Amino acid sequence: FKDPQDLTYTVENGPFYVTCGHSGVLGALGGVNTTDKLEVLTGDYKIIKGLYATGNNVSGVSVAAYQNVEGVGLGFSLTSGRLAGQAAAEYAKK
């Protein structure tokens, strides 16, 4: 491991902002079943029209190793949100 002194440096130009965050739950295993367009499926795998699910709680995306790193799920959350939004927009046009 590196000495903490090796990981610090002086920053002289502002402005400076500080934030504090904590993640407690990283996602759920299981979750909601969806189509590739993120349409929510019923228990017997029928599409619920107009209902979409995104993020780490979509079933089949997360595995144990994936859940152990905070922030990793953000990529899928953003991507699935965009894809679901596009699918919802197409659905709304009908």
pLDDT for 4 equals 78
Domain span at residue 83 reads 24-93
Secondary structure E strands in the chain: 39-41, 47-52
In a domain, 85, yes or no: yes
Residue 5: inside a domain: no
| pTM of the full structure | 0.61
Task: Give pLDDT tens digits for 53-93.
Answer: 998 778 655 555 555 666 767 778 888 999 999 999 999 99
60 assigned to some structural domain: yes
Number of domains in the chain: 1
Per the listing, tokens 């002289």 go with: 12
In a domain? residue 42: yes
Q: Tell me, yes or no, whether 15 lies in a domain.
A: no
Q: How far is CA 5 from the centre of its chain?
A: 34
